[in-house]
Structure 1
C-alpha cells in the first residue's frame, strides 16, 4: 500500500428530507449566489420551486444560469464567470447531476483564476482557489458532488478535459433519492455504468497489499450489480435508489482509491467518444471498459482473476486462467447489457472509423502515453478501438 493523505470536506446530507437542511448550510455560499442548473427538468419536477422557496426565505440574492448540457461546454462556463464577476457572486449552488456540478466548478475556479481557465482545462492543471460550491444532486452518476475534479468540453467542444483541486470539492451536497425517480431508464443505466467505471478505475491497479480497499471496491461493485438492473426497471423504488445514490458518492470521493495507484485510461478514451459523438458518458464507458480489459489483462492476470472470482463469482474450480478472465469480462458485459447499454460502437450507432481523429485529440498537448495499469500508446488505443467495434 502507498502512503496517502485522505481529505474530503464535503458535508453529505442524505435522505428524503435532506432539502430541509439547505438553509443550515447556505452560509457556506454567502448572501449573493449563482443558481446553476440544466435544462427544464428541475422545473418540471418541482425541484426548482422547492429550492427557490428556501433561498427566498433566507433573503439570499439569487442570480440564475441554466442551460447546462449533458456534456457541459466551456461557453456556458465563460458566461457564468462573467455573471459572477459582474454581480460580485459569493458562492454557487448547483442543482442537477454531474454535468451541472462540473460546470459550476469551472465557473467557481474561473472567477478567481489569474490566467485563462479554458487553457487550464486543456492542460489538466491543478487549481488552488475557487468560489465555494454547494449542490443539490438530481442524478447519481458522476460523483462530482464530493470529488475534487471538473470535466468540461473546451476548444469549441472538440476536447473534453479536466481541472482538479481540493478547492473544487463542494462544501455540501444534498442527496435526496426521491429526486431520482423522475429519471428515464436510459439515464439511470448510463449513471450506473459511470459509477461502476469509477470503481473499476481504482480497482485495476498494480499496487500490492491493498486488500482492504479491494474488498471495499468489490462490495460496492456487487451492490451496483444487485441494484443496478433492478432500478432501471423499477424507477420508482426510492429505497433501491438510496443504495445506488450512496454508492455513487463513495465511488468517487477519493476514499476507495486511498493508498493505491489508479488508472483512468478508459475515461480518457471515452471522453473522445463523448466529445465527437455526443453519446452519454456512461454509455461510452460501457463500450470502452470491456475493450480496455481485453487488451490489458495480460499485464496482470492475477488482478483480473480476482475480479472475475470476487465480483462476478466465476467458478474457482476451473484452472484455466485465461478462461476465468474471459468469463469475468463476459459477465461484466452481460451486466451492462441487462441495463440495455451498448458494449460495442455499432450498438451506439457509431459506424464510422474516426479513431485517428480521437487519438490525435487524446494525446494533444499531453505525454506520449497514459494510464497506470498498462501504459497506453497510440498503437494500444487503436487495438482497444478494434475490440470495441
Structure 2
C-alpha cells in the first residue's frame, strides 16, 4: 500500500428538500454569488425558484450565468471569470450535474489568476487557489460535487483536458435524490456508467496489499449494479435513487483510491472521443472501458479474475484463468448494454476518420494510464477494438 493523505473538506447535505438550506450555507462565504447552471430544466422543474428563494431569504445578491453544455466549454468559463471579477463575486453556486460543477470550478480558479484559464489545462500554470464553490447536485454521475478536479473542452482544436487542486473541492454540496426523478433513462444510465468507471480506474492498479480498498471498490460496484435496473424501471424509487446518488459521490471523492495508484487511461482516451464528437461522457466510457480491458487484461490476469469473481460472481476456473478474466469483461460489457449504453464506436456513428488524430492528441504529452502505460500505437489499437 502507498503512503497517502486523505483530505475531503466538502460538507455533504443529503436528503429530501435539502436544497431549501442552500442560502444558509452560501451566506457563510459571502453576500454576492454567481448562480451557475445549464439549460431550462432547472427552471421548469421549480428547483431554480426554491434555490433563489433560499438565497434571497439570506439577503444574498445573485448574479446568473446559464448555458453550460455537456462537455463544458472554456468560452463560457472565460465569460464567467469576467462576470465574477466585474462584480466581486464571493461564491459560485453550481446547480446541475458534473458539467455545471466543472465549469464552476474552472471559473473559480480563473478568477484567482491573471493569465488565461486554459493555462491550467495545458500544464503551463498550476492552480493555487479558487473562489469558494457550492453545489446543488441534480445528476449523480461525475462525482465532481466533492472531487478536486475539473474537465473542460476548448473549442479551438477540440481539446478536452483536466486540471485540479484541493481548493476546487466544493465547500458544500446538497444532494436530494428526489431531484433525479425526472432524469431521462439515457442520462441516468450515462451517470451510472461514469461512476462505475471512476471506481474501475482506481480498482485496476499495480499496487499490492490494498485489500480494504479492493473490497470498498467491489462493494460500491455491486451496489450500483444492483440498483441501476431498479432506478431505470422505477425512476421515483427514492431508496434506489439515494443508493445511486451516494455511490456516485463515493466513487470519486478519493476514498476508494487511498493507498493505490489508479489508471485513468480509459478516461483520457474517452476525453479525445467526446472532445471531437461531443458524445456523453458516460456513453464514451461504456465504449472505451471494455476495449481497454480486452487490451490489457494479460498484464495482471489475477486482478481481472478477482474482478470477475467478486463483482460479477463468475466462478473461477483454476484450469483456465484467462477464461474467467474474459468472462468478467464480457459481463461488464453486457451490463452496459442492459442499461442502454453503446459499447462500440459504430453505435454512436464514429468511424475510422479521427482515430489516428485521437491517439496522437491523447498521447502528445506522454503515455496514458498507469496499470499499463499506453503509447500512441496502443491507444489506436484500443480505439480499433472499440469499433
What TM-score do the two structures reach when normalised by structure 1?
A: 0.97
CA-CA distance at 1:52 after TM superposition:
0.5
CA-CA distance at 1:356 after TM superposition:
1.1
**CA distance in structure 2 between the aligned counterparts of 1:335 and 1:311, rounded to whole angstroms:** 12
CA contact (8 A) 1:202 1:261 kept: yes
**CA distance in structure 1 between the aligned counterparts of 2:268 and 2:100, rounded to whole angstroms:** 20
1:373 aligned onto 2:371: yes
The one-character-per-residue Cα deviations of 1:329-368 (angstroms, maximum 9, x if unpaired) are 000011101101001111122234311111222123x12x
CA contact (8 A) 1:74 1:157 kept: no
**CA distance in structure 2 between the aligned counterparts of 1:258 and 1:240, rounded to whole angstroms:** 27
CA-CA distance at 1:124 after TM superposition:
7.8
CA contact (8 A) 1:29 1:133 kept: no
**CA distance in structure 2 between the aligned counterparts of 1:259 and 1:166, rounded to whole angstroms:** 18
Residue of structure 1 in register with 2:385 after alignment: 387
Q: Which segments of 5 or more consecutive residues in structure 1 lack a partner in the other structure?
A: none
Residue of structure 2 in register with 1:226 after alignment: 226
CA-CA distance at 1:4 after TM superposition:
0.3
**CA distance in structure 2 between the aligned counterparts of 1:254 and 1:127, rounded to whole angstroms:** 19
Flag the 1:193–1:226 CA change in 2: closer, same or farther, 3 A.
same
**CA distance in structure 2 between the aligned counterparts of 1:251 and 1:133, rounded to whole angstroms:** 20
Indicate the SS of the match to 1:344. coil
Structural mapping, 1:10-25, within 5 Å: 10-25=10-25
**CA distance in structure 1 between the aligned counterparts of 2:293 and 2:194, rounded to whole angstroms:** 16
Indicate the SS of the match to 1:182. coil
The alignment of Structure 1 onto Structure 2 pairs a total of residues equal to 387
CA-CA distance at 1:128 after TM superposition:
1.2
Residue of structure 1 in register with 2:362 after alignment: 362
Residue of structure 1 in register with 2:91 after alignment: 91
**Higher mean Cα deviation, 351-360 or 99-108?**
351-360
Indicate the SS of the match to 2:141. coil
Residue of structure 2 in register with 1:334 after alignment: 334
Q: Which segments of 5 or more consecutive residues in structure 2 lack a partner in the other structure?
A: none
**Higher mean Cα deviation, 13-22 or 284-293?**
13-22
**Higher mean Cα deviation, 99-108 or 346-355?**
346-355
CA-CA distance at 1:82 after TM superposition:
0.3
**CA distance in structure 2 between the aligned counterparts of 1:124 and 1:174, rounded to whole angstroms:** 33
CA contact (8 A) 1:33 1:60 kept: yes
**CA distance in structure 1 between the aligned counterparts of 2:283 and 2:157, rounded to whole angstroms:** 19
The one-character-per-residue Cα deviations of 1:96-133 (angstroms, maximum 9, x if unpaired) are 00000000000000000133211211228641100000
Flag the 1:356–1:287 CA change in 2: closer, same or farther, 3 A.
same
Flag the 1:28–1:295 CA change in 2: closer, same or farther, 3 A.
farther
Indicate the SS of the match to 1:217. helix
**CA distance in structure 2 between the aligned counterparts of 1:357 and 1:320, rounded to whole angstroms:** 38
**CA distance in structure 2 between the aligned counterparts of 1:179 and 1:125, rounded to whole angstroms:** 37
Residue of structure 2 in register with 1:209 after alignment: 209
CA contact (8 A) 2:23 2:56 kept: no
CA-CA distance at 1:376 after TM superposition:
0.2
1:31 aligned onto 2:31: yes
The one-character-per-residue Cα deviations of 1:33-73 (angstroms, maximum 9, x if unpaired) are 00000011101111101101111111100000000001100
What TM-score do the two structures reach when normalised by structure 2?
A: 0.98
CA-CA distance at 1:155 after TM superposition:
5.0
**Higher mean Cα deviation, 97-106 or 152-161?**
152-161
Aligned Cα root-mean-square deviation (Å) = 1.2
CA-CA distance at 1:163 after TM superposition:
1.3
CA-CA distance at 1:237 after TM superposition:
1.4
1:260 aligned onto 2:260: yes
**CA distance in structure 2 between the aligned counterparts of 1:28 and 1:101, rounded to whole angstroms:** 19
**CA distance in structure 2 between the aligned counterparts of 1:82 and 1:110, rounded to whole angstroms:** 9
